[in-house]
Amino acid sequence: MQRKQYSIDYMKRLYRGEYQIIISQDGTKTCVIEPELKELGSKLFKVNYIDNVNMDYGIDKRAYYIKKFLSELLREISTEKIKIDDKNKTIIKYWTKYVEDLQTDEIYERVIVEDAIYSKLLNKQDLFIDIIENNCKKKLLLMDKEISPKVLGVRSEFTKLLLKKLVENINNNNKHNDTLTIAIVNDSENFIKDNLFHGLKGSYKIISLDNYYEEKVLKKQLLGKFDHIISVNSLHLIEDVEDFFKASKLMLKENGQLHVIDFGKMDPVSILTAIFFQEKYLDIETEKRTQFFYRIDYIKKLAEKYYIKNSLLSIKNNIAYYFKLESYTNYLGLIKNLENNIGNYFDESIVLFSSKSLDSYNSRNGITKGHVDNYNEDVEDILKTIWIQNLEIDDVNKNSNYFKLGGNSLSATKLLVEIERKLKCKLTLNEVFSNPEFEDLLKLIDLKQLNTEIIEGEI
């Protein structure tokens, strides 16, 4: 069966997309649905900026101490006390250029012993030397509970400020103290979860999600599941960020919100630690990315493309940002209504993000083109069931004659209703009279389904 289009009125809006019925080798029947997720028409987008953070958050001081630490490492390298792993040569070259403008600052030097980050770096100097000499040991940096990229990112003054705004938004949005279902993306160490516990009001259930967007397929159980989805300092790690936005939209409840916090530019901490894991982006300057991070303008375009109500809070020349995006639709309800409108029984339904992922899904589940084309056999089973129930008989074969089995004009009218409901094929009484044998009526239905490309309905 070829892919078909659907067009459904749901929640006072028109939704379009495509669907296809496929049968796997074990006989499992799956309804594969690809909804059109783009938002049409005008969207609300509020933008606010926080620019007065330089003195309060010590950006220049942080950069000074990290440059000082790197300079000391580079000095050891220059005396050949540290041997550089070939995989780290690009990083060393970047660090060398980064510290070129370092000049002694007497004010910062007087308080250097009080700086927590600098003290931790000195204690971790041997770890950095090990990584410089053997790039494979960079995994140790990820496991470090004091200076891993994740830890330093969460403890950043920018992240703390934006997380506070995020918690305020969730609390303000929950005016009736409903129990919330919240998903946190890529938070295996529970850093974000622990931060939320201290600020969220009311009752809530927090679920950790990892890389749900990579398969480009969602099962129905994940649709319309969450009041809020939260991603903190991990968006830049996602290769196909557009799929992340689409998958998250499908998983949100009606008026659910996606919260995204990340850095917009490389900061001293990312130059020090994240560089070992994001090296391939060092020289990247594209419409989408500026080195390690996605450009805010690109993320804003995706937000406008897929979400109807959006806001952006940006800090200090876009060094960090917080997007709050709101979805209008509960896609679980939409898909359920679409299934009813199609009128067939399915073992399961899945939702794809793009047509390219259909072939990938089919290959993973052992589904060939032949299995898809053989959907006609399933139509035959459905039509048999309709005949048996309509005529109150035990069996039907291809030569069975509807009227010889006891059918009449009244029962034929009921037959047409069931055929339209379950097979989405509209027939007339004259067509039943002209094709009374089962096989002839089946062929007529096949022909009409092949020529019908749009399934329409009103929910």
Question: CA 15 to CA 38: how far, in whole Å?
Answer: 10
The reported pTM is 0.78
Provide the pLDDT for residue 275: 94
CA distances from 107 to 59, 70, 181, 268 (A): 15, 19, 48, 19
Provide the pLDDT for residue 459: 35
Q: Which of these, 47, 44, 46, 22, lies nearest to 34 by C-alpha position? A: 22
H or E element: which one contains 65? helix 59-78
Phi, psi of 285 (to 5 degrees): -135, 95
Axis crossing angle, helix 296-306 with helix 241-251, rounded to the nearest 10 = 40
Question: CA 139 to CA 136: how far, in whole Å?
Answer: 7
Provide the pLDDT for residue 4: 82
Provide the pLDDT for residue 20: 85
Q: Which of these, 403, 350, 338, lies nearest to 216 by C-alpha position? A: 350
* Mean pLDDT of each 10-residue bin along the chain, 459 residues long: 80 87 77 89 76 60 92 91 92 95 92 87 94 94 90 89 94 86 89 85 88 83 94 93 94 96 92 93 93 95 93 89 94 89 78 66 51 52 89 90 92 91 85 92 77 43
Phi, psi of 349 (to 5 degrees): -125, 140
Question: CA 324 to CA 232: how far, in whole Å?
Answer: 12
The 8-class DSSP code of residue 405 comes to T
Contacts of 215 (CB under 8 A, 6+ apart): 357
Cβ distance 379 to 419 under 8 Å?
Answer: no
CA dihedral 394, 397, 403, 408 (to 10 degrees): 50
Cβ distance 440 to 370 under 8 Å?
Answer: no
| 289-290 vs 4-10, strand pairing mode | unpaired
Question: CA 385 to CA 407: how far, in whole Å?
Answer: 15
Provide the pLDDT for residue 368: 45
